[in-house]
Amino acid sequence: MTARPQSLPAPRPGLPEIVRALMHPAVLVGALGYFVDIYDLILFAVVRTSSLIGIGYPSDQLIAPGTQLINWQMGGMLLGGLLWGLLGDYRGRLSTLFGSIILYSLANIANAHVHDLTMYIVCRFLAGVGLAGELGGCITLVSEALPREVRGYGTMMVSAIGVLGAVVAGAVAKEFGWRDAYTIGGCLGLVLLILRITVRESHMFKALAPGRKFASQLGLLFQPARIGRYLSCILIGLPCWYVIGLVILFSPEFAKALHATGPITGILAVPVAYTGICLGDLVSGALSQLLRTRKVVLFLFLTGTAVCFTLFFLSDHATPLFLYGLLFCLGICVGYWAVFVTVAAEHFGTNLRATVATTVPNFSRGAVIPVTMLFNELKPHFGLLYSGLMVGWIAIVLAFIGLFGLRETFHDNLDYVES
């Protein structure tokens, strides 16, 4: 049973209310936290080639170890998403954010000193566990700290600034090299740890009745009345990480298969795509506020994603400029990430919200593992390009199924518990 209060239409906020929301400490520090999260999450995509060559792999044998590393990193995020989500609803939102950033920072600094694939895998796994708590904890805290009429602007700000971490990751890796890039990421995390002191715990969490047991929220979450909407939330995020974890990560190899007139490099493809994602986050967040709907915006952006990746895989003999342009457009289209995570947080009560908001995006990120596995299974039979296209359409169809299984949550009052 869900004790969810009846929600009247939210009033339209004025400019002063919007500005106050964007300047809220939870929003500003959350945005910087997600910046560090994305910096590290995408850094491997940027330095994949140089780092693997640096530890001794030939330049023509990078796909297998690259896939192995990204899968271990995402596996860490799956485990970390569950761990930090449960802790967030048991110990508090801030405890999750402090613990996750400490682990991430230390793992990243250690990553700068690896010399073989085994240690590289260990560091990527631990960094993945640490990073898993960042976005969900931030979105939960912001959603509960801001009034419902402006919380979409707050989560938009977190996501839009956060994804610029990928752009900075590309610039840092190009300027300093892959080992220094990992060290810088770890140091950024330690600086963020100090800034977190200025943020207060959620008043909704503090109002929860004491005496909860660790992991007791799993029994509530996996009841038949809730498991459907939980799985629907996860499915909506699949195309984002299909694009990031497959199309963008292996865009250099796809460009060769397309007989592009020039090379595509990861060190440029990643910041180009993430500049698009930043713009997409701003547009999708603003549209969801102006149109006062989450579902319509998600439908539009998912449709755009399907069109863009289909065009990418059919662009034979294209110029590098055209392919970079498509990656930029793909970034815009998967920039619905902020709206997607907000929808997940809005679908559940205060006693489940951190668990859901942390596990949902990380389970969507973790979908990179089955995505790459399916891609590798299909590749011998259908080739590099058609395999990538087929996996993309499977992800899109599942996302639309998830979208149609959810209700509209724009006007929902979030101050309630599930029982």
pLDDT in single tens digits along all 419 residues of the chain: 445 555 556 677 778 888 888 888 888 888 888 888 888 877 887 788 889 999 888 887 787 888 788 888 888 888 888 888 888 888 877 878 888 888 989 999 999 999 999 999 999 999 989 988 887 788 888 888 888 788 878 888 887 788 788 778 878 888 888 899 999 999 998 888 888 777 877 777 777 766 666 666 777 777 887 888 899 999 999 999 899 889 998 899 999 999 999 988 877 888 888 889 888 988 998 898 889 899 999 999 999 999 999 999 999 999 999 999 999 999 999 999 878 888 988 888 888 888 888 888 888 877 888 888 899 899 999 999 999 999 999 999 999 999 999 988 887 887 777 77
Angle ∠(203,39,59) on CA atoms, nearest 5: 155
CATH code of 17-198+222-404, in short, is 1.20.1250.20
Q: How far apart are CA 401 and CA 152, in angstroms?
A: 23
Contact 394, 374 (CB under 8 A): yes
Q: How far apart are CA 361 and CA 387, in angstroms?
A: 25
* Owner of token pair 């998967």: 334
Which are the contacts of 144, defined by CB distance < 8 A and separation ≥ 6?
Answer: 93, 202, 203, 204, 205, 350, 353, 414
Q: How far apart are CA 295 and CA 299, in angstroms?
A: 6
* Owner of token pair 């603003």: 286
pTM equals 0.80
At 189, list the tokens.
């995390």
At 171, list the tokens.
């610039």
Task: Tell me which residue of 44, 58, 42, 81 sits closest to 344, measured CA to CA.
Answer: 81
At 240, list the tokens.
């984002």
User: First-to-last CA distance in the chain?
Assistant: 5
DSSP annotation of 5 reads P
Torsion of CA 175, 135, 190, 182, to 10 degrees: -30
Contact 96, 358 (CB under 8 A): yes
Q: How far apart are CA 104 and CA 124, in angstroms?
A: 9
At 358, list the tokens.
């942390």
